[in-house]
Structure 1
Amino acid sequence: MGFPDLLSQYPDLAEGIRGRLTVNQPLSAVTWFRTGGPAQLMFQPADEEDLAAFLKKLPREIPVLPVGLGSNLLIRDGGLEGVVIRLSAKGFGAVEEIGGHRIRAGAAVPDKRLAEAAAKAGLGGFAFYTGIPGGLGGALRMNAGAHGTETRERMVELTAIDRDGTRHVLSNAEMGYAYRHSGASKDLIFTSAVFEGLPQDEASIRQEMADVVAHREKAQPIREKTGGSTFKNPPGTSAWKEVDAAGCRGLTVGGAQMSEMHCNFMINTGNATGHELELLGETVRARVLQHSGIQLEWEIKRLGTFGPEGAIEPFLGQAGEAA
């Protein structure tokens, strides 16, 4: 079941646009979980100017959502109403050294590619990106981090296009960064950013990168259909410890499972639906709350409308009573 065709309702949206517009685009193909409903309309702009021109014409009442590499994204089975913006590697995937130990990179650049570019340039401080399976747009939005380093420590400034098609440049301070969070307006679509590193010899950088990869392969189910860390670490403890203590390692709901290898990773074991994955997550949250009194917060972004199975209440709507 799809959404009404926005291009038929607003035919002028496609006029003069150089990027790609697709009606009712299945989103299961662009998320790491490989599940979820369609986007009412997906737009892949040719470049920043094309994005701005499209947004200027798009009626204000139509929702807009940027989607990157889909590594920490759970799309519900009913899909996403409105327009999904997906930046292309061709238009937003450039990486260049700009002097002063700085690199400019497009928001569609995979995190690990930025780490590679920094290593070649002899710039330290980026090895942690080797272990983050996402793109820079998402890293900038949620202050992605690993191994003791966060995006806010490397980002100098970024460019973004707002809902009205206006271009903005935001400093690090204007982003309002906190743990796995930024205070930037949800209306902003990040297009590129400038990062700053520290001089370091390439050999030692590559050793750090190799260590990150080795740790990830040993500790995380990287060959599964997963969204990475499911829950944020609560103050004073680790999410996986609380999930494990509540007896949820290996817990399954349909085709969804909390990984046996790393129980803060939720995986699609085959043909899990978005409903099964989210129900598993809320079941885990309910059991952890019941066991330890800790309210785990989702790190994975859950978006879209629920399918025919209906809505899933936070903590199962049972004040911590597990199902």
Structure 2
Amino acid sequence: MSDFPAVRGQLLRGESLAPFTWFRVGGPADALFLPADTDDLAQFLAALPNDVPVLPIGVGSNLIVRDGGVPGVTIRLAGRQFAQIEPLDGARIKAGAGVLDSMVAKGAAKAGIAGLEFYAGIPGTIGGALTMNAGCYGRETKDVLVEATVMTRTSEIVVIPASEFGFTYRHNALPDGLIFLNATYQGAPDDPAAITARMGEITSKREASQPIREKTGGSTFKNPVDANGEKLSAWKLNDEAGMRGYRRGGAQVSELHANFLINTGEATAADIEGLGEDVRAAVKAKHGIELEWEIKRTGRP
């Protein structure tokens, strides 16, 4: 499409998406839209032809953008308009979809709201957390979500209660094409210092066990379930298949955590995705288990 609707925010054509992902790889977006506010987003979507694909992204912490780039319009909710955090009565807290999960954990702690400490250990934004039922250390988004506000592909704003998300492990059952605007969470009253201390423990665990200073995309594969219904650790399966430290081009399986892939500096998206497929093949050969990607992969090869 040569002519996009007029916007008040930024509409960039052919913009590389590599700087917008934690892996720092990937081709250009046909168009990258950073709306000024919700009204700007609504007017843009209402005027955008239905056959133009739309991809919402957060901070790209769990994303591989392929080297051929992304068709249609990539939408990123950046800036203060989409990053508000508001404590509510009844130990609830409301957060914009563009807020980092860790900032919501901090905001809840400051307000004396317990239950969202696990968000301190999750990279990414609230929009991404809602998309994949993000969780760690025994807690998931589904455990604390009350409702979320979304914008549909036709610019309608709808509030969806948590009961309608159909959350499962790292997945929701909502239809494609929704753009999250904000979410409301239910916590429990507690002492801010006690909450902050628990968040500190989570952060310390994460820093000790994960390569968070590297160009990485977080956990690569979902933890699979065996024939007896027992959840297995993907990192352990990868390790036992001999993949810790394994390289492909500029991509490497982390030496610190075998379920993390890293860009050592010169990787392409194809290197990283190909390395992931090498790991899947090795685990299938060793254990007979098909690992599922947790990282989202998008765009043209």
| Bin of the TM-score, shorter chain as denominator length | over 0.9
Equivalents in 1 of 2:49, 2:64: separation in Å? 26
**Aligned counterpart, 1:85:** 75
Give the partner amino acid of 2:263. Answer: N
Per the alignment, in what secondary structure is the counterpart of residue 26 of structure 1?
coil
- 1:161 to 2:151 alignment: yes
**1:245 paired residue among 235, 240, 243:** 240
**Aligned counterpart, 1:118:** 108
**1:292 paired residue among 282, 287, 297:** 287
Deviation at 1:203, TM superposition (A): 1.4
Give the partner amino acid of 1:213. Answer: T
**Aligned counterpart, 2:39:** 49
Equivalents in 1 of 2:21, 2:114: separation in Å? 30
**Aligned counterpart, 1:268:** 263
CA contact (8 A) 1:46 1:90 kept: no
Equivalents in 1 of 2:136, 2:143: separation in Å? 12
- 1:256 to 2:251 alignment: yes
CA contact (8 A) 1:157 1:169 kept: yes
Q: Residues 240-280 of structure 1: CA distance to partner in whole angstroms, max 9, x if unpaired?
A: 01001111010000110000100000000011000000100
Equivalents in 1 of 2:144, 2:80: separation in Å? 24
Per the alignment, in what secondary structure is the counterpart of residue 182 of structure 1?
coil
Equivalents in 2 of 1:203, 1:94: separation in Å? 23
**Aligned counterpart, 1:188:** 178
Give the partner amino acid of 1:10. Answer: D
Deviation at 1:91, TM superposition (A): 1.7
Deviation at 1:183, TM superposition (A): 0.6
Q: What 5-or-longer segments of structure 2 have no aligned partner?
A: 226-230
**Aligned counterpart, 1:222:** 212
4+ runs deviating over 6 angstroms: none
Q: What 5-or-longer segments of structure 1 have no aligned partner?
A: 1-5, 307-323
Per the alignment, in what secondary structure is the counterpart of residue 11 of structure 2?
strand
Q: Residues 125-146 of structure 1: CA distance to partner in whole angstroms, max 9, x if unpaired?
A: 1111111111000001100000
Matches within 5 A, 1:139-154: 139-154=129-144
**Aligned counterpart, 1:98:** 88
Equivalents in 1 of 2:278, 2:177: separation in Å? 32
Equivalents in 2 of 1:198, 1:84: separation in Å? 37
CA contact (8 A) 1:36 1:75 kept: yes
TM-score, with length taken from structure 1: 0.90
CA contact (8 A) 1:89 1:109 kept: no
**Aligned counterpart, 2:118:** 128
The alignment yields a C-alpha RMSD, in angstroms, of 0.8
**Aligned counterpart, 2:228:** none
Q: Which moved more, 1:75-84 or 1:48-57?
A: 48-57
Equivalents in 1 of 2:108, 2:81: separation in Å? 21
Give the partner amino acid of 2:130. Answer: L
**Aligned counterpart, 2:64:** 74
Per the alignment, in what secondary structure is the counterpart of residue 206 of structure 1?
helix
Equivalents in 2 of 1:56, 1:118: separation in Å? 35
TM-score, with length taken from structure 2: 0.97
Per the alignment, in what secondary structure is the counterpart of residue 267 of structure 1?
strand
Equivalents in 2 of 1:151, 1:46: separation in Å? 27
Deviation at 1:19, TM superposition (A): 1.3
Q: Structure 1 vs Structure 2: percent identity of aligned residues?
A: 52
Deviation at 1:89, TM superposition (A): 2.3
Per the alignment, in what secondary structure is the counterpart of residue 124 of structure 2?
coil
Per the alignment, in what secondary structure is the counterpart of residue 18 of structure 2?
coil
- 1:179 to 2:158 alignment: no
Equivalents in 1 of 2:287, 2:118: separation in Å? 31
**Aligned counterpart, 1:314:** none
Alignment size in residue pairs: 296
